[in-house]
Amino acid sequence: MKRFGFGTYTLSGGVAVVMLAGCGGSQTPIAAPGAMPHTAAIAAHADRGKSWMLPEAKNEDLIYATGGCLGTCVFSYPGGKLVGTLDVGFGGSYATSGACADANGNVFISNNQNIFEYAHGDATPIATLDLPGSNAIGCSVDPTTGNLAVVFSGSGKNVAIFPGAMGTPALYDSDIDSTYCGYDNAGNLFVDGLGSENAPSLAELPSGSSEFSAISVSQSVGLPGQIQWDGRYITYQDLEHENIAVSRLDISGSNATIVSKATFDIKKTAMQSWIYGNKIFIPYADTRIGRQSRVGVWKYPKGGRPTTSIRVTGVYQKTINFQAVTFSSNRDHAR
């Protein structure tokens, strides 16, 4: 199975400060509001290298970004302040990790052969799920059943579905080299990846079915990235270098038609995005180093230039190589 590889980076000294830069004005980073009073506490937590969360996190909307802060960075939104870290999210030998959230604000992070579930703003997992393989990446929660789907490798099958996000998963073969997955509002599961001759491919596990079926899709959707329901359409993220885009797909039978495509002003690389309402969050690189060191926020489905860009400097800076983001709303958590 093809996987994206990343390097490893060592921890440097200093104090973590989250920086923001707007898309239309000066690109000089400014400290996030309220960040400075907590710098000593953040540095103390970083020295221990364990999960931590500021008490205020439970009352804020949160962005979870895997592949940074020695695991996963947690930022407040819209403030962009670092309010916690989790010691999971770097994945296995390929250093890949995915993330997703359910309608209640619970967050799931794939970490090699495990999936960790966190309640909104908590630093300790409320559940740990085991895969019969490794290199877990994309995940998605069925809004109709609460089932959790995870794409992984190292087994004869490559999609695991945990009933109610618990226990032992049922296993399926998507018949493609799968990478990401996403449920629509009716409980149909879609998986993307590479098919024959490394062509972009899409497969569907209809709700109640035991087998995936192939969906014909144009190669213009690009390199397989995040699959997600945006409220109207299943979306397919293109991770092609310097051509980051999200296609909205109208799926009828075994055919997918591109209804529209949002493109994003990203000159380097990007990784797994997350759509929430009229916003999309994307981890991306903006330097020659090739690491995804920023989390950008764009209007969706408009695209274009980001309205906000979040990055970390100081103690966690050299650990940043964001791989996936998800969003957990305090309003969802309070349901």
290: left (phi > 0), else alpha (psi -120 to 50), else beta?
left
Give Cβ neighbours of residue 53 (< 8 Å, ≥ 6 apart). Answer: 74, 83, 84, 121, 122, 123
**Dihedral (CA of 143, 144, 145, 148) sign:** negative
Give Cβ neighbours of residue 120 (< 8 Å, ≥ 6 apart). Answer: 58, 62, 105, 106, 107, 328, 329, 330, 332, 333
pLDDT tens, N- to C-terminus, the chain (335 residues)? 434 333 332 323 333 333 333 333 333 333 333 333 346 666 666 656 689 999 999 999 999 999 999 899 999 999 999 999 999 987 443 457 899 999 999 999 998 899 999 999 999 999 999 999 998 999 999 999 999 999 999 888 999 999 999 999 999 999 999 999 999 999 999 999 999 888 999 999 999 999 999 999 999 999 999 999 999 999 999 999 888 999 999 999 999 999 999 999 998 999 999 999 999 999 999 876 678 999 999 999 999 999 999 998 878 888 799 999 999 999 877 66
pLDDT at 288: 67
Tell the residue number behind the tokens 């802060």, with chain if given.
69
Give Cβ neighbours of residue 204 (< 8 Å, ≥ 6 apart). Answer: 188, 189, 190, 191, 212, 213, 215, 251
DSSP result, 174-239: -SSEEEEEEE-TTS-EEEEEE-GGG-EEEEEE-TT-SS-EEEB--GGG-SEEEEEE-SSSEEEEE-
pLDDT at 331: 83
Q: Tell me the one-letter amino acid at 301.
A: P
Could you tell me the domains of the chain?
A: 17-333 (2.120.10.30)
pTM exceeds 0.85: yes
pLDDT at 95: 53
pLDDT at 170: 97
161 touches 210 (CB < 8 A): no
CA dist 111 and 139 (Å) reads 11
pLDDT at 289: 66
pLDDT at 286: 82
